[in-house]
Amino acid sequence: MANWKMHPATRADAKKLFDATRKAAERCAKSAVVVAPPSLYLAELASRAYAGAKIPFALQNAHAEAEGSFTGEISLSQGKEAGASYVIVGHAERRAMGESNETTQAKVAAALSLNMIPILCVGEQKRTDSGEHLDFIRAQLVDGLAKAGAKIKKIVIAYEPVWAIGASSAMTPHTMHEMSIYIRKTIIETYGSVGHTIKILYGGSINASNTTAMLREGGVRGLLVGRASVDSKEFAELLYSIETL
């Protein structure tokens, strides 16, 4: 998953980046790429997405209500109409702007009701020896999933420790593996066996050199990639590295 955040600065550069991403994705049989561009670019990029490999799109955020007086927001259905089939919910950078577990809960439920796939992001700010971060993650998961209902199996969880986002190195695959077990256990305790099959992604300082170790040893099915996804060369290398797995 390529999370472009608020990049690139121009529409022309967005088209170039998208075309390079699509070409790299076409050469890769082992990975499925989802692009989360700034929503202003979405409709235009979606119209270019079918030239070769079909690339699905994600919204980086959306409002849970279908429409209304919410200045500056876009709705899930507006994003869906523009071409998005996924939505990132509760990214750490949104949570830092005030998004709560209550809002992620509403967004997850609204996305599922539109048959969109929510990618629920969870992750602690910091870790202490007492393990409080585990309770924090549990609350983010349990609250975020509380209104998912029968469609819960479609949800993707992205574990992104805030301290590893935009950092100089990623979390170790070993620690990610422990987190992935914890996340599954939490979902199984609350929602039963669906927890065995839910897809878990890791995000935070992933690049071409740490991708294979994380996929091999981290207990994850995919990666949420920020900076390395807006550097077309790095992202192509990252995708090619997956082919060697």
- Interacting residues with ligand PGA (CB under 6 A): 3, 160, 165-166, 203-206, 224-228
Nearer to ligand PGA, 36 or 194 (CB): 36
- SS3 for 35-64 is EECCHHHHHHHHHHCCCCCCCCEEECCCEC
C-alpha to C-alpha distances, 54 to 26, 46, 86, 159, 222, nearest whole angstrom: 9, 9, 14, 26, 18
Distance CA 122, CA 119 (A): 10
State the minimum distance, in angstroms, from the CB of residue 186 to ligand PGA: 21
> In the 8-state DSSP scheme, what is residue 199?
E
State the minimum distance, in angstroms, from the CB of residue 45 to ligand PGA: 19
- Catalytic residue list contains 91: yes
State the minimum distance, in angstroms, from the CB of residue 96 to ligand PGA: 11
Catalytic residue among 91, 93, 99, 133: 91
DSSP, residue by residue, 183-196: HHHHHHHHHGGGGG
Catalytic residue among 93, 99, 124, 160: 160
State the minimum distance, in angstroms, from the CB of residue 68 to ligand PGA: 28
- Catalytic residue list contains 177: no
Nearer to ligand PGA, 63 or 91 (CB): 91
State the minimum distance, in angstroms, from the CB of residue 85 to ligand PGA: 19
Nearer to ligand PGA, 218 or 226 (CB): 226
Distance CA 202, CA 157 (A): 9
Judge whether 232 and 13 are in contact, CB under 8 Å.
no
Count CB-CB contacts under 10 A for residue 232.
Answer: 17
Nearer to ligand PGA, 195 or 204 (CB): 204
Nearer to ligand PGA, 152 or 225 (CB): 225
Nearest Cα neighbor of 38 from 64, 68, 2 is 2
Q: Which residues are catalytic?
A: 91, 160
